Structure 1
Amino acid sequence: MKNGFRCKCPITSALDILGDKWSLVIIKQMLFEGKTTFKDFVESTEAIATNILTSRLKMLEEFDIIEKHKLPTNKKTNLYLLTDKGLALTPVLIEMTLWSKYHVQEFNPDLNLDEKLDYVEKNKAQAFKNIIANYNEYKQSFF
């Protein structure tokens, strides 16, 4: 896929990596829900098929958005963690959440909108830094 981009457009090229149904869901689960193992992703409410999950994890790893390690307490289990490149998607995910709040909620009134979203919306730059710092602290807890 690295050389299989459709065109030179930056948006289209980003969508070639992130525009499928599952990639951003996996990144969201890692960043906001603390999911780190294949089992964590399979057991999520989004119900991603195992073959699709395997494919997306490999692709995200190829593009250095995630990294794979062995779980220190169980060498048979892979641990998936966001890289700095993956964490750089934090503002994108927050903006998508806010867009959904204002433009999708009327169609899906049961949206799960975190109570911290108002703070995040009013203090985006600081919120992005806090989310990334919290994730990095969480990531270090594995090593």
Structure 2
Amino acid sequence: MEKKIKPCIENEQILKQRFLALRDTLDLLSGKWRFCILLNLHYHEKLRFKDFFEVSVGISPKVLSSELTTLEAHQLIQKKIEYTTTKDITFYVLTKHAQEIWTVLNTLIEFGLSNRQEVIKSMYSDKD
């Protein structure tokens, strides 16, 4: 007889919804550039398309354009235009919705820093 694994949440429908929500979030934020784009916009507040190449070394224009389009479609960033007398300046900013991500990003960064220290510490302690 096969033993059924009992989830830690009584309502399996809620468990499925939470699993799908996590999967959707991971799909949205997957790839090496989306977190970088969001993090750079958080720190710089607004960036023009060409500014991203200075703060995200190695990204191609095609990839940047695609990633910005995806993040904009998911309402995490917004394209704004600043009208001046000489020329119009287009730039990107985080939306209010994206501000919710900062706690997640910061937690991941803190974990990454801590984990790196643990790995380095274990590498040196293993040699003794």
Structure 1: how far apart are the matches of 2:55 and 2:67? 15
Structure 2: how far apart are the matches of 1:94 and 1:26? 14
> Between the two proteins, what is the percent identity of the paired residues?
28
Q: CA RMSD in A?
A: 2.0
Aligned to 1:93: 105
Q: Report how many residues are paired.
A: 100
Structure 2: how far apart are the matches of 1:22 and 1:104? 21
More helix by share: 2
Aligned to 2:72: 61
Unaligned runs of 5+ in 2: 1-18, 121-128
Structure 2: how far apart are the matches of 1:43 and 1:107? 30
RCO (CA 8 Å, sep 6+): is it higher in 1 or 2?
Answer: 2
TM-score, scaled to structure 1: 0.63
Aligned to 1:79: 91
Q: Deviations over 1:84-124 (max 9, x none)?
A: 1111111011101110110024668xxxxxxxxxxxxxxxx
Q: Shift of the alpha carbon at 1:34?
A: 3.8
Structure 2: how far apart are the matches of 1:20 and 1:80? 19
Segments ≥4 residues shifted beyond 3 Å: 105-108
Structure 1: how far apart are the matches of 2:51 and 2:119? 29
Alignment of 1:24-63 (within 5 A): 24-63=35-74
Unaligned runs of 5+ in 1: 1-7, 109-143
